[in-house]
Amino acid sequence: MSPWQSFLEAREIWQVPLTASVIAGALLGALGVYVVLRRTVFVSAALTQLSTLGLVAALLVEERIHIETEQSGVQLAVAIAVSVAGALVLGAIRFRRLPAEAAVGGVWVVASALVVLGASLLAHAAHDLGGLVFGNAVAVPSSDLVIIAAVAAVCLLVHGFFAKELTFVSFDAETARALGVRVGLWDSLLFLTIGLAIPVTARALGALPVFAFLTLPAAAALLGRAGYRAAFPVAAAIGVVAAGGGYVLSWLWEIPTGATMVAIAGVILLPGAVIRLRG
Amino acid sequence: MTEPLVGLEKASVGYGRTPLLTGIDFAVGAGDFLAVVGPNGGGKTTIVRSALGALPLLAGRRTGRRPLRIGYVPQREHVDAIWPLRAGEVALMGRVPGLGPWRRPGPADRAAVRKAMERVGIEDLHDEPYGDLSGGQRQRTLIARALAADPELLVLDEPTNGMDPSAELATMDLLRDLHHNGELAIAMVSHRLEAVANYARTLAFVDKAQSLFRTGGLEEMLQPEALSALYGRAVHVRELEGRKLVYPVERRPEVVR
């Protein structure tokens, strides 16, 4: 039996994780347009680490204080809480004497260090952590698919209804503020959707692919000279191709799923980058 | 006196709790053309943002008409040209505050944008990417965005910053046409007095380093005493072919006997 035939026969195993990956790829790809254009790529990296830190904290509480958090719903709730709080703070942070990048970089590196320290203290749950950090797209439960789909629907509604406000405050916050638009409120709403999307998709894809999907599809769409409105569906489509294609190829070739997804997203980015470099 | 469109009374302005300037009194009335002039980092933009309510006052109070339709033009360099928006899409943002969160731009909004772009002479750039435009065209796009809101007051922050003399003149001529003898009130910030001396009717001199805030009519503010208060040295004003030229005078060393 060829690898392709065996893949098709195993449909019951992969249909939920593949669907979750594809939805996650589309969601993160579209949100990434804001992340890239607002020059907040590093914010998404920091949020991904914060989300992972939330999961580590939940596992530590369970092991050390014997408070029951082993249910995935509780772990996810902690990760969402940490990620959303981080998104709201990092999205609003403005120091007069310090570039915002310095604060974001500080959060990223400290969160990364705390993840490593926390993981070193975990005795039994370290195996869970591997899936949380690097993704476990092969085994996504149906409940996670439902959560990813629900978050994607919420993000779609928010960005559909409030596109003009989110675009205005992201493109030119100074003018929006001068005209009485509540920039802080709209920024918070935008980062709330990003802060929600990161932890729920990180459970399926892993931290590295989530960071990649918030960056590469949007960058590919923009390098391909997609207009502003078109950039969202184009980036979402690239996310779908990279997530779906990466999942299938990783199955067929028996290679790491998350890394394959990122590699495909990178390959899609290349032609536009080469054309821009030449021209 | 008619009700001011926007103004400050006994105001202290600044960021956080530290006042940059105190005791500020000024008002922009219907039909005014005010230029706020001073060195870079002197507090000009802070005063204007405070007057618009974008910055909270540390003391004093804001005056003016509520609600007021304002068109705001930021410094061109503050608007990120990497966004793949077309000039028409940028101009359409001027309609966003008036629409509210639930309404989408309709034919009336698009017609207002076309009219505003026509008014500043860039109607043919409607579908051009904003990032591909020249500095002057971007400036006109941002002015069109402000005009799309059908403002009573147009506020501009350093609209001629970084422009060559020809583009600077063209931009200032455009503002004069928009002002059109008082049809649209204009308040602008500039660090170049010579750029605004032929257009503004009222001047405000601002320099936080000297705790200076002084405002008055054009002729009054172009007197040697007022100019030396701003620049700390003698500044002459001459008229050549109907245009005012403002230039500093070289300090002559005192002769030691």
- What secondary structure, in 3-state letters, does chain B show? CCCCCEEEEEEEEEECCEEEEEEEEEEECCCCEEEEECCCCCCHHHHHHHHHCCCCCCEEEEEECCCCCEEEECCHHHCCCCCCCEHHHHHHHHHHHHHCCCCCCCHHHHHHHHHHHHHCCCHHHCCCEHHHCCHHHHHHHHHHHHHCCCCCEEEEECCCCCCCHHHHHHHHHHHHHHHHHHCCEEEEEECCHHHHCCCCCEEEEEEHHHCEEEEEEHHHHCCHHHHHHHHCCCEEEEEECCEEEEEECCCCCCCCC
Residue B139: pLDDT band with limits 50, 70, 90 = very high
Residue B164: pLDDT band with limits 50, 70, 90 = confident
Residues of chain A short of pLDDT 50, as ranges, are none
Answer yes or no: do B85 and A177 touch at CB < 8 A.
no
Q: Is residue B153's pLDDT more than 80?
A: yes
For B104, phi and psi rounded to 5 degrees?
Answer: -95, 155
Q: What is the largest CA-CA distance in chain A?
A: 66
Which chain B residues contact residue A172 at CB under 8 A? 74, 78-79, 93
Which chain A residues contact residue B104 at CB under 8 A? 164
Residue of B nearest to A180 (CA): B54
pLDDT reported for residue B195: 86
- Look up the pTM and report it: 0.89
pLDDT reported for residue A79: 85
pLDDT reported for residue A169: 96
pLDDT reported for residue A133: 65
**What tens digit of pLDDT does each residue of B229-252 get?**
888 888 888 888 888 888 888 765
Residue of B nearest to A184 (CA): B54
pLDDT reported for residue A129: 65
Answer yes or no: do A171 and B79 touch at CB < 8 A.
yes
**What tens digit of pLDDT does each residue of A122-146 get?**
876 666 666 666 666 667 888 889 9
CA distance B119 to chain A (A): 21
Does residue B91 belong to the interface with chain A, where contact is any CB pair within 8 Å? no
Residue of A nearest to B53 (CA): A178
Q: Round the CA-based radius of gyration of chain A to a whole number and report it.
A: 19
pLDDT reported for residue A88: 86
**What tens digit of pLDDT does each residue of B88-136 get?**
999 999 999 999 888 999 999 999 999 999 999 999 999 999 999 999 9
pLDDT reported for residue B252: 53
Q: Which residue has the higher pLDDT, B131 or B162?
A: B131
DSSP string of A201-229? HHHHH-HHHHHHHTTHHHHHHHHTT--HH
CA distance B254 to chain A (A): 42
Residue B225: pLDDT band with limits 50, 70, 90 = confident
**What average pLDDT does the structure give for chain B?**
90
Which chain A residues contact residue B101 at CB under 8 A? 161-162, 165
Question: Rounded mean pLDDT of B197-207?
Answer: 94
Q: How many CA atoms lie within 13 A of A174 on its CB side?
A: 18
Which chain A residues contact residue B93 at CB under 8 A? 164, 167-168, 171-172, 175
Answer yes or no: do A179 and B85 touch at CB < 8 A.
no
Please report, for residues A86, A90, A184, A278, B49, the alpha-carbon distance to residue A93 in angstroms, rounded to integers and kept in the order given: 10, 5, 10, 37, 20
> Token digits for A88?
């709201």
pLDDT reported for residue B232: 81
pLDDT reported for residue A279: 64
How far is residue A99's CA from residue A148's CA, in Å, rounded to a whole number? Answer: 34
**What tens digit of pLDDT does each residue of B35-60 get?**
999 988 899 999 999 999 989 999 99
Closest by Cβ to B97, choosing from A161, A180, A231: A180
Answer yes or no: do A96 and B97 touch at CB < 8 A.
no
pLDDT reported for residue A100: 75
Answer yes or no: do A164 and B104 touch at CB < 8 A.
yes
pLDDT reported for residue A217: 97
pLDDT reported for residue A28: 97
Place of tokens 């004093």: B60
Asked if residue A37 lies in contact with residue A170, where contact means CB atoms within 8 angstroms, the answer is yes
Answer yes or no: do A228 and B105 touch at CB < 8 A.
no
Does residue B52 belong to the interface with chain A, where contact is any CB pair within 8 Å? yes
pLDDT reported for residue A63: 80
